[in-house]
Amino acid sequence: MIHFDEFEKIIKEFFHHVQILHLTTYYTGTYLDTQRWQKLIVYHMPYLRVFDINCQDFLEYDISCHDVVTEFNSSFWIKNKCFFVNQYEWNDQSFGGVIYSSGLYR
């Protein structure tokens, strides 16, 4: 698995002409940073037409998948027609969730 910090370096160096990005992550919440993705898309992937991301993770009890999805539904994502949905389960200690995109097709 590659940490988001390392993946960000790769994006900045090599992804300028990328048009389609499919990404699946497991148990690393760092990929759910909406501001970071916005900056990467705007400044380093200007030709991106398809952004499919699927993040599976356990979240702390006080953070819900719904809160994370809400951050991904800001005006930037709506303007770019990229919408996010979530599925989750919870127990006494944590939420287990899957957050995935259903768009960015421009």
Higher per-residue confidence, 79 vs 5: 5
20 pLDDT more than 50: yes
DSSP string for residues in 72-98: HTSHHHHHTT--EEEEEEE-SSEEEEE
Write down the pTM of the prediction. Answer: 0.75
Instruction: Convert the pLDDT of each residue in 57-81 to its tens digit.
Output: 665 544 566 676 677 778 887 787 7
Place of tokens 């993040």: 55
Write the DSSP symbol of residue 30.
G
3-state secondary structure of 41: helix
